[in-house]
Chain A
Amino acid sequence: MFELLGIPPQALFGQLLLGLINGAFYAMLSLGLAVIFGLLNVINFTHGAQYMMGAFAAWMLLEWGGVPYWGSLILVPVIIGATGVAMEKLFLKRLYHLDHLYGLLLTFGLALILEGFFRKQFGSSGLPYPNPLPGGTRLDFMFLPNYRAWVVVASLVLCFGTWFMIERTKLGSYLRAATERPDLVQAFGINVPRMITLTYGFGVGLAALAGVLAAPIYNVNPVMGSNLIIIVFAVVVIGGMGSILGAIITGFALGIIEGLTKVFYPEASNTVIFIIMAIVLMVKPAGLFGTPK
């Protein structure tokens, strides 16, 4: 059947896998953005830079400290998450009473600082990170590299773990309550400012973890974050930020659509997500999973 379309199955499934992997990163990043936006009302422009920092932290730990990949998977989100906590306490906290746009501008400035600093230190050509899971499985229709399979599984676990924590646990119910009515939750004796700080740290840690997962696939590169964050913004506009599950599904779906576009009409593969965004804006301005406010 595939031969009829003039496309060998290897190419098709190869691109599908690539799309799935990209989608995994879209999902992880838009999930973090949605969690942060829910509680802080800040669109975290630094998210891409924090993803990039995650990848660099893993590289530094390996090169300079000899910490292997699996150690980085635990350490890096904690370290970068801690920088997020510091950032919230130092800067973001001062802007909550203002128009949301100032949060966007501040985090944009921080993203420029971080990206510029890493570009200055490491150049923009990219650094290789060794694959911790070399080899792969030969399936009937394609070759499945082990590491890529691991990324898909890990990101699915991560996304649904986050979803479960927010939608199905007591901690998550506090979080959702504070998203709706921070003043009431505070009145019930829950320390909302600390919750906000930790939520930001968590979102940042999630971005950093995505960065570690990305390091062996894409090169560790100072501009990897800014290229990705704009696409993730489009994903967020398409999905709407109201729903965690929506962010996950939209992320994966758009990755796969992008992969398919690479097979059937490669010229549009860079722009297909933006085109879908335009269509969604025309048909359902609030986003697929959003509710009109």
Chain B
Amino acid sequence: MSNAAITADQSAAKPGTRNRDLIIFAILLAIGLVAPALIYPVFLMKVLCFALFACAFNLLIGYVGLLSFGHAMFFGFAAYVSGYSVKAWGFSPELGILAGTACAALLGLVTGLLAIRRQGIYFAMVTLALSQMVFFYCVQAKFTGGEDGIQAIPRRALFGLIDVKSDIAFYYLVLAIFCFGFLVIWRAIHSPFGQVLKAIRENEPRAISLGYRVDQYKLLAFVLSATLAGLAGATKALVFQLASLTDVTWQMSGEVVLMTLVGGMGTVFGPIVGAAIIITMQNYLAGFGEWVLVIQGFIFVIVVLAFRKGIVGEIQDWWTRRVNKA
């Protein structure tokens, strides 16, 4: 099977782009800090949760070249765990999120051990099948509440001290969580560990012959990605005070693929842009019911056929061309 890179990410290695990334991140953070004054905070929190989910997914597809078609299992399962622990055991938000994230990490370890035994297309099919298994488990298990899900999850005080009942207060918590997750990913892909991941993506046999234990690197990346996807899901459950089957379905796995694809696979900021676009679109199209599925399908087809680099990828390309010309 060809190891041709699914994305072109030559930029991350250049020293100049590091500063550029940090400047962009600072600008985005500034926007994030003032945004709730202009935009409905619940919507913003939704975007942030999905942006983190997409960034976590992008870590695998963009930097290791592994297409997971089952990331909803981490997102949705962590949502259930955090929702249940907060509602039934009276956990405070930070403990609930931590519990959900830890379970996602564990699930990532188990499924990762299985999934990394196959590559390419098989990897996608294995992850899809495993996530369907988790879906069926969630349908049957008692604690998930079946079709009803876990509803009316209370928003307790953070650390038992800080009141986060208002959406504005909770928004800043979500923003902080997002920044934490994003910086973890950013640090990972710019570390020696991230360089090895890229080497595996570009040419796995060569990475093996250089003496890297490829499977361990892949597994670590998989677990990291699953953990952060779980962090996003656990947070989302507390934002909407709801954990439901929707979050574990294969459609959800497809959505995160779509977000990352639209924004640009293997770009640092692409998943954020993609998540913002897809969530906005869903908001506007909420009244159209099934057409949302059709439109998402069309976007998939158009992006795959016409601009595979995604929005941020195309902008980066244009930028590089312009700089090279000057």
A interface residues with partner B (beta carbon < 8 Å)? 37, 43, 91, 94-95, 98-102, 104-106, 108-117, 119-120, 226, 230-231, 233-234, 236-237, 267, 270-271, 274-275, 277-278, 281-282, 285, 293
Contacts and interface: CB of A to CB of B under 8 A. Distances in A.
B114 A233 contact: no
Leading 5 A-B pairs by shortest Cβ distance? A109-B300, A116-B293, A112-B297, A113-B297, A274-B133
A43 B292 CA distance: 24
A111 B300 CA distance: 10
Nearest to B294: A116
B67 A104 contact: yes
Contact of B137 (A43, A94, A99, A271): A271
A105 to B, nearest CB: 5
B301 A109 contact: yes
Interface in B278-326: 289-301, 304-305, 308
Contact of A112 (B126, B137, B140, B293): B293
A98 B67 CA distance: 15
Contacts of B95: none
B133 A91 contact: no
Contacts of A267: 140
Contacts of B115: 281
- Which secondary structure dominates where chain B touches chain A? helix
A230 B128 contact: yes
Interface residues of B, number: 46
B132 A120 contact: no
Contacts of A285: 117-118
Contacts of A102: 6, 304, 308
20 contacts: A43-B124, A95-B305, A99-B6, A100-B2, A104-B69, A109-B296, A110-B297, A112-B294, A115-B293, A116-B294, A119-B293, A120-B291, A226-B250, A230-B129, A237-B122, A271-B133, A275-B133, A278-B130, A281-B114, A281-B117
Given A99-B2, A108-B300, A234-B132, 12 more contacts: A37-B121, A102-B304, A102-B308, A104-B67, A104-B69, A105-B67, A109-B300, A113-B298, A116-B292, A230-B250, A233-B129, A282-B114
B245 to A, nearest CB: 14
Nearest to A273: B129
Contact of A120 (B4, B122, B137, B290): B290
A234 B125 contact: yes
A135 B105 CA distance: 53
B90 interface: no
Given A99-B4, A119-B290, A110 B133 contact: no
B98 to A, nearest CB: 27
A53 B133 CA distance: 26
A119 B2 CA distance: 37
A117 B120 contact: no
B83 to A, nearest CB: 22
